[in-house]
Chain A
Amino acid sequence: MKVKLKVWRQENADAQGGFEEYEADKVNPNMSFLEMMDVVNEGIIEDGGNPIAYAHDCREGICGTCNCMIDGKPHGPENGVTTCQTYMRSFKDGDTITVEPFRAKAFPVQKDLITDRSALDKIQQAGGYVTVRTGSCQDANNLPIGKDIADLAMDAAACVGCGACVAACKNASAMLFVSAKAGQLNLLPQGAPEKDKRVLNMVAAMDEAGFGNCTNQYECSAACPKLISEEFIAKLNRDFIGATLRKNFQAKALD
């Protein structure tokens, strides 16, 4: 099959970018989107040009590195897959495919389709962890956790941090990411001691990074390659209200 690509090209973070068109001939429908891009890049290199820069790593859909806005939807037309797991059979022969970087003030473009998503790391560092004891590891099943809770926490933990939620959101809000990262820990006993602090700090880091606000349209959930539910956003809202109230009315130890 044959497709036309309209790709965002931008030399570096400060340069002015723009769309350029490329033709991809002899595309095998079973190529992944990124393999098709590799073939296009080989052609560009043979012609003495600069290959299209895009982010990728595992190519198995589990690392969250690849991120392209393909025809107006993060990761392309299919549901519940990343860019690397999008295959050319999802497109029609003769299609013109528009490929853009994820757009958010908090995700500055570095080159072509590569964005700097370290804002998500900063949110994680603000509270997306649990403090664990050192020493020998705990006995298995020492901490009983109900299967429904374990399953729900696993749903949240499926987040690969790709940023598709931010890219798809009309307001470039990171609420689905933050709610998944906070939710996976808040649901479990291991995360309970730092729950309130985690929620308040992660929300503060999210606001600080310049992401937008949630308008409850759930575009994030529809675009998420791991199909994370907006239910976690409601949980984050609930946990935030609880944490704020507890922080103000709980007795505190002297400094």
Chain B
Amino acid sequence: MNILNALFKTSLGKKVIMAVTGLILVGFVIGHLVGNLQIFSPPEKINAYAHFLQSLGGALWAIRGFLLLTVVLHIWSAISLVLENKAARGAEGYAGQKTLRASFASRTMKWSGLIVLAFIIYHILHFTTKHAYGPELFMVDLHGEQVLDVHTMMVLGFQKPLVSIFYLVAIALLSIHLSHGISSMFQSVGLRTRAWSNCLNKIAVIVSVLYFLGNAAIVGACLTGAVEVQNAKVKAALAACQADCEVCESRIASIN
């Protein structure tokens, strides 16, 4: 039995895949949140950050490929384990089975995971490929260079209540998913003991709550107007739009 066989063919190996890919994805979502929290700084900050990421070129695609592989492995191990678990109960189930101590989060991992997957696809269409994004994407001057105005894109994107509510629901589900996942990954690789399991569970819940609050702050600030569009041209166009709505779209589109 070589290592790949042990990883992909045994029940414990698949759990290790689940845990390690989970750890990578937790690292990514926290990094992603920290990057996005720059929305609370002047627009130059997040625009420069976005420009830096875009300028990575080949490295960016390598990171994207790695993350995609991680997500695929995470989902593959989940599907494989769930199918085996379903089969393991046998043809006849219980008339009634009590839940003794399994947490709500642990019992809903597959549902929270599925909805978060749908959200990730929407999120990429929304802000990365812009297939599901309303207004045009504007360019802005950054130290003499024309760069994408990510700040304005985020603010305008979250000003739509339905979009924001979907983001909040998805982030809440992801936080619930993480509250089980973060402590569970330690158990799967054998690093959870009774001595620190209580502490570990608390860390998992605190990280999940902070993760939710951080994201909710971004969405909420844009939705409520606490963070506003600061691109002068877009601001002027939006102000003019309040007087004559019919030519609004073409005026905004002509900014670039």
Which residues of A come within 8 Å of B, CB atoms? 6, 8, 17, 19, 69, 71-73, 98, 100, 103-109, 168, 170-173, 200, 203-204, 206-207, 210-219, 221-223, 229-231, 233-241, 244-245, 247-248
Of the listed stretches B3-11, B62-70, B124-132, B144-152, chain A binds: B3-11
B92 on the interface (CB 8 Å rule)? yes
Q: List 19 A-B contacts (CB under 8 A).
A: A72-B98, A104-B88, A105-B88, A107-B90, A171-B88, A172-B89, A172-B90, A173-B11, A173-B88, A215-B106, A216-B180, A216-B183, A219-B100, A222-B100, A229-B194, A231-B197, A234-B193, A244-B1, A244-B3
Chain B residues within 8 Å of A107, by CB: 90
| CB-nearest residue of chain A to B180 | A216
Most buried by A among B93, B102, B193: B102
> By the criterion CB–CB under 8 Å, are B3 and A105 in contact?
no
Of the listed stretches B46-54, B79-87, B239-247, chain A binds: B79-87
> By the criterion CB–CB under 8 Å, are A234 and B84 in contact?
no
Complex CA gap A231/B102 in Å reads 16
Q: Kindly provide the distance from the CB of A250 to the nearest chain B CB, expressed in whole angstroms.
A: 13
Instruction: Sort chain B's interface into a size bin.
Output: 35 or more
Complex CA gap A106/B90 in Å reads 8
Given contacts A73-B100, A200-B1, A203-B11, contact A237 B84 (CB under 8 A): no
Of the listed stretches B12-20, B29-37, B223-231, chain A binds: B12-20
Q: Kindly provide the distance from the CB of B78 to the nearest chain A CB, expressed in whole angstroms.
A: 10
Chain A residues within 8 Å of B250, by CB: none
Q: Mark B79-121, 1 if CB is under 8 A from A, else 0.
A: 0010011011111111111111111001101000000000000
> By the criterion CB–CB under 8 Å, are A241 and B90 in contact?
no
Q: Which of B96, B107, B183, B191 contacts A170 (CB 8 A)?
A: B107
> By the criterion CB–CB under 8 Å, are A247 and B1 in contact?
yes
**For the complex, would chain A's binding face be called helix, strand, loop or mixed by DSSP majority?**
mixed
Chain B residues within 8 Å of A104, by CB: 88-90
Q: Kindly provide the distance from the CB of B61 to the nearest chain A CB, expressed in whole angstroms.
A: 32
B21 on the interface (CB 8 Å rule)? no
Q: Which of A172, A233, A235 contacts B88 (CB 8 A)?
A: A172
Chain A residues within 8 Å of B256, by CB: none
Given contacts A203-B11, A234-B187, A239-B190, contact A212 B94 (CB under 8 A): no
> By the criterion CB–CB under 8 Å, are A103 and B107 in contact?
no
Given contacts A104-B88, A212-B84, A248-B2, contact A217 B101 (CB under 8 A): yes
Q: Mark B152-180, 1 if CB is under 8 A from A, else 0.
A: 00000000000000000000000000001
> By the criterion CB–CB under 8 Å, are A238 and B190 in contact?
yes
> By the criterion CB–CB under 8 Å, are A212 and B85 in contact?
yes
Given contacts A104-B88, A170-B107, contact A213 B98 (CB under 8 A): no
Complex CA gap A235/B88 in Å reads 23
Q: Kindly provide the distance from the CB of A25 to the nearest chain B CB, expressed in whole angstroms.
A: 24
B26 on the interface (CB 8 Å rule)? no
Q: A212-B88, A248-B3 are in contact. List 13 more A-B contacts (CB 8 A).
A: A104-B89, A106-B88, A107-B90, A173-B88, A200-B1, A203-B12, A213-B14, A213-B15, A222-B101, A234-B190, A237-B187, A240-B190, A244-B13
Q: Which of A103, A108, A238 contacts B89 (CB 8 A)?
A: A103
> By the criterion CB–CB under 8 Å, are A207 and B90 in contact?
no
> By the criterion CB–CB under 8 Å, are A171 and B85 in contact?
yes
> By the criterion CB–CB under 8 Å, are A237 and B188 in contact?
yes
| CB-nearest residue of chain A to B88 | A212
Q: Kindly provide the distance from the CB of A11 to the nearest chain B CB, expressed in whole angstroms.
A: 14
> By the criterion CB–CB under 8 Å, are A172 and B190 in contact?
no
Complex CA gap A29/B255 in Å reads 84
Chain A residues within 8 Å of B16, by CB: 237, 241
Chain A residues within 8 Å of B107, by CB: 170, 217
Chain B residues within 8 Å of A100, by CB: 94-95
| CB-nearest residue of chain A to B2 | A248
Complex CA gap A217/B155 in Å reads 40
Chain A residues within 8 Å of B193, by CB: 231, 234
| CB-nearest residue of chain B to A206 | B11
B192 on the interface (CB 8 Å rule)? yes
Q: Kindly provide the distance from the CB of A162 to the nearest chain B CB, expressed in whole angstroms.
A: 16
Chain A residues within 8 Å of B189, by CB: 237-238, 241
